[in-house]
Amino acid sequence: MKKQLFLWIAAVTILLVITACGGGGASVAPPNPGSFVSVRIEAILTAGSSSVDASNIFPNEAVTFRLTGIGQNDTTQTRVTIPTTGWTSTGTIGGTLSTNGSFVANDTPPGSSGTVKITYDGSNYSLLTRIVQPEAILKGKGRLTDGRPTAKITIQALNSSGNVVAFGNVAADGTIRMSVPTNATRITADFSGVDPGATFYVRQFFYNTKDYSTLISGCTAPLPALTNGVTTILLSDIVFYQNSGGPPPPPPSGC
C-alpha cells in the first residue's frame, strides 16, 4: 500500500512539473517587428518554396502570402516568417484570398490590380498584387555585391522606343520572374520602392559584364531575344551596389 501511494504521489508530481513547463517547452514570444531591418509581405508559390513577385502572378497559380522579417549584418541576410492571420484585400486582386494568406488566382486576368493587407503588432503592411497573362517569361536573380538577396527594387522592361512595357519586383529571396511582351528589348532598374531610409543602394546596377546607371538617360541593359510562351533566363544576376561596406561602383560602361 505504501509503495502504491508513493508511486501515485510521484506520478502527480511529474504531471504538475510538466504542466508548469508547458509540456516540456517554454512558450516563445512572437517576433518583434522592431528587431528586423525591414518587415514585408512575401508571396510564396504553393507548388514550391521560392518567393514570387506578387505583381506577376499567373492565372490559376496558388500562392501563400506571409509576413517576413528581414534581418541582416555585413555578411548574411536572414528571413523569419512572422505568424499572422486575418489577411484582407482591397481593389481587384483577381483571385480568392483566405484569412490565413492562401491565395488562388483566377483563370482570366482581370486587367486591374489590388492590394493584400495584414496588420501585425499595430502596424499595417500591404503589397501590390496583379494577375498577368504570361507572354515571354523573364527569370533571374537580383542581389547585392556580397551575394545577399535584395528586394523592393523594380525591374522595368523597355521597348525600342524606351517606353516601359512591363515591370516586376525583385522578391525578398532575390527572385526575378516577370511576364514581358516580345517587343521588350532592354531593362533598367527603378529604386523608388525600396524601404524608407535604406542605404544599400546607389542608382546603378551591374549586368552581364557591364555597369549601367539609372541616372543617365538611355543607359539601359540589352535583353536577349524573347519568344512568346518561352522562359528566358537573364544572362547574369543583376547586381546592386551597397553604399556601405564596399567600394563605390565603377563608372558606367554600358551607356
pLDDT in tens, 93-126: 999 999 999 999 999 888 778 999 999 989 999 9
The reply to whether 35-133 and 134-247 are identical in fold is: yes
Q: Which three cell numbers stand for residue 221?
A: 541593359
**Residue 173 pLDDT more than 70?**
yes
**Residue 7 pLDDT more than 50?**
no
pLDDT score, position 24: 35
**Residue 90 pLDDT more than 70?**
yes
**Between residues 202 and 19, the one the model is more confident about:** 202
**Quick one: fold of 35-133?**
Immunoglobulin-like (2.60.40)
pLDDT score, position 112: 79
Q: What is the CA radius of gyration of the chain?
A: 24
pLDDT score, position 231: 97
How far is 235 from 151, CA to CA, in rounded Å? 19
Domain ranges of the chain: 35-133, 134-247
Q: Give, rounded to a whole angstrom, the gap between the first and last alpha carbons of the chain.
A: 93
Which of the four CATH numbers 1.10.4080.10, 3.40.50.300, 2.60.40.10, 3.40.50.10490 does domain 134-247 have? 2.60.40.10
Going 175 to 177 to 182 to 188, the CA torsion angle's sign is negative
Phi/psi at 12 (nearest 5 deg)?
-65, -40
pTM over 0.85: no
Lowest mean pLDDT among 8-17, 65-74, 142-151, 174-183: 8-17
132: Cβ contacts below 8 Å, ≥ 6 apart: 55, 56, 57, 58, 109, 179
How far is 32 from 235, CA to CA, in rounded Å? 39
pLDDT in tens, 21-79: 333 333 334 566 557 877 889 999 987 778 899 999 999 999 999 998 887 665 566 77
